[in-house]
Structure 1
Amino acid sequence: MIYGVGTDICDLRRIAAALDRHGERFAQKVLGPNELQVFRQRSARVPARGLSYLGSRFSAKESFSKAIGLGMHMPMTWRDCEVLNAASGKPEIHLHRGLAEWFASRGLRAHVSLTDESDYAASFVVVETKD
């Protein structure tokens, strides 16, 4: 059964402006440790790929926070929600600490879809009960 649905669109120009103002500190605030490693690798090769990665993860976390009905309030935090790719390339949500406990205690499962274009990243999250 559907528990919640969330969607978000992110203007990559705003993400670029935040990176210009705050440097990597902005990425460190938004990304978990595994995501930060991918961001650095992609940025080193092609800066636009790093920007798209950061924007798509920002968008996905916004969508996830809407789908679980918490917004950006505890236990939902930027860094405790990571969106990582499986070996197949499929994006998956990985939760940590208190957010993982909160999510598991409700018997929930999340599905995420991401897309990006030159100026925008968008995401869609469906959270369902495991029953």
Structure 2
Amino acid sequence: MIYGIGTDLCDVRRIARTLERRGERFAERVLGPHELGVYRTRAAQVPLRGLRYLATRFAAKEAFSKAIGLGMRWPMSWRACEVIKAPSGKPGIALHGELAAWFAERRLQAHVTVTDESDYAAAFVVVEQLPS
């Protein structure tokens, strides 16, 4: 059964302006430990790839927070939710700490997709409740 659906469209230029103002602290606030490593590697190789990676993760977390119906309120936080990639390339959601416990307690499962194209990044999340 579908528990919630969330979508978000992010202007990559807005993320770039925020990075210019706040620097690395912005990425450290939004990205989880695994994501931060990927972001830094991509940004070091090609800065635009790092920027787009950050924008897609920002959009995915916004979409996820909408799908679970909490917004950015406890136990949802930027760093407690990470977008990971399966060996096949399929994106997924990894949760940490209290958010992971909250999610498991409700028997929820998330499906996510992300995309970016020049000035925009988008994400779509469907959260389903598994049968008991």
The TM-score normalised by the length of structure 1 is: 0.99
Looking at structure 1, the residues matched to 55 and 118 of structure 2 have their Cα atoms a distance apart, in angstroms, of 11
- SS of match in other structure, 1:92: strand
| Consecutive unaligned residues in structure 2, runs of 5 or more | none
SS of the residue aligned with 1:77?
coil
Determine the C-alpha separation between the residues in 1 that align with 2:77 and 2:71: 9
Query: In the alignment, what sits opposite 2:28?
Result: 28
Q: Matches of 2:90 and 2:50 in 1, distance apart? A: 18
Residue 15 (structure 1) aligns with: 15
Query: 1:55-114, CA deviations, whole angstroms, 9 ceiling, x for partnerless residues?
Result: 000000000000000000000000000001111111110000000000000000000011
Give 2:110's aligned residue: 110
In structure 1, C-alpha distance between the alignment counterparts of 2:31 and 2:19, rounded to whole Å: 13
**SS at 1:35 equivalent:** helix
- Output the TM-score relative to the length of structure 2: 0.98
Q: Which aligned runs of 4 or more in structure 1 are off by greater than 4 angstroms? A: none
- Alpha carbon RMSD of aligned pairs, Å? 0.4
The answer for unaligned runs of 5 or more in structure 1 is none
1: distance between equivalents of 2:66 and 2:18? 22
Q: What pairs up with 1:1-131 in 2 under 5 angstroms?
A: 1-131=1-131
Question: Secondary structure of the equivalent of 2:123?
Answer: strand
Identity of aligned residues (%): 68
